[in-house]
Amino acid sequence: MNKKPQFPDEQSSEGAFTRQGDAFREWVTVDGSSGYPPARGRYHLYVSWACPWAHRTIIVRKLKRLEDVIGMTVVDPIRDDRGWAFRDGPAHSTDPVNGFQFLSEAYRANDPAYRGRVTVPVLWDKESCRIVSNSDDDIMRMLNTAFNRFTASKLDLYPVDLRQEIDQLNDDIYEQVNDGVYRAGFATSQSAYEQATQRLFEMLDTLELLLDTQRYLFGMNPVETDWRLFVTLIRFDAVYHGHFKCNIRRIIDYPNLFGYLKDLYQYDDVAETVNMDHIKRHYYITHDDINPTGIVPLGPDQDLRSPHGREHL
C-alpha cells in the first residue's frame, strides 16, 4: 500500500513525522536593541483559530490585554495546496494590513527563496514590512514582557523563579503531547504510530497524577506551560482522539485533566479564544489523506462551562 504522508518533506524513512523548525526568530525587545522596539500599533499577528500553536499566542494576547496594542487577522481554517489564505468568512477575514491573499506572500517578502511549509502564527512588523517571528514559543514570551508599558496587566506567565522548571516541563509536554498527537496522526508506519501514542498517554497519565494535588502545573496560578498544554487538551476529544487515532482514552476519561481543562477554559476570557467550528473544519477537511470524505463530526458533546471542582486544590 502506498501511504501518503501529510507533509512529505517532514517524514522520516521509518514513517515518523519530524516537524520542521521555525524559519524566522527575531525579537521585539524592551530596549529596542534588536531593531524591533515595542510600540502600539506597529506589530500585527496573523493567526488561525484552528492551529494550536497560533492559539497559544492568541491566549497570551488576550490575557495580557494587548488587543488594542497588537492587531490580529485570522486566516481561513480550510487550507489547500496554496496554504493558509485570507478570505472573508465566519470569524476570519481578508488581510487589512498588506492585502495578502495567502500567508505565503508574507514569507516570500522576507525570503523570496523560502521553500518550507508556511505556518501560523506570524508576528509582522508593519514598519519594516517583515516577519519578526513565526515561532509561537518566542512570540508568547515577547507578548508576556516586551509590551508591558502599554497594558495595565501585571500578569507574568514566565516568572524568573520558575523558568528552569517551566522550560523542562515545556520540553516534555511538547515532545510527548503537543507534538505527540501529530506524530501519532501523521505517522505512516504502525511502529511510528504506536511509539508516539504510547509516549503520549504515558505523559497524560503523569500529568493526571500531578494535577491530583495542585490546581495548575506549578501551583495556584497558571503559567505559560498551562496554556501550552491547554491548546492540545481543548482539541483532544474533538479531533485527536478520532482523527489522529489517539484513542486509548479521552480527556474526559481523566478526572483531573478534564477538570483542569474546564478550569482553564473558564479562566478570564479564554473561552473567547476557542473556536471549535474552525478547529474541527480545519482538521477534518484539510487533512484529506486522513479523512478523504471531508465529513466533519457533530460531536463530542462537552459541557466545558460545568463546575470544574478544582478551587479546593
Q: Which residues belong to the active site? A: 51, 182
Is omega for the bond preceding 300 within 30 degrees of 0, making it cis?
Answer: yes
Residue 141 C-alpha from the chain's centroid: 14
> How many other C-beta atoms are found inside a 10 Å radius of the C-beta of residue 51?
24
Question: Would strands 71-74 and 130-133 be described as parallel, antiparallel, or unpaired?
Answer: unpaired
What gap in Å lies between CA 293 and CA 8, rounded to an integer? 21
Exposure string of 68-94, with b = 16+ CB inside 10 Å and e = fewer, is: ebbbbbbbbbbbeeebbbbeeeeebee
What gap in Å lies between CA 169 and CA 167, rounded to an integer? 6
Give CA angle at 164 (166, 140), nearest 5°. Answer: 45
- Which of these, 194, 237, 224, lies nearest to 14 by C-alpha position? 194
8 Å CB contact between 265 and 62:
no
8 Å CB contact between 203 and 149:
no
What gap in Å lies between CA 303 and CA 266, rounded to an integer? 11
What gap in Å lies between CA 246 and CA 255, rounded to an integer? 18
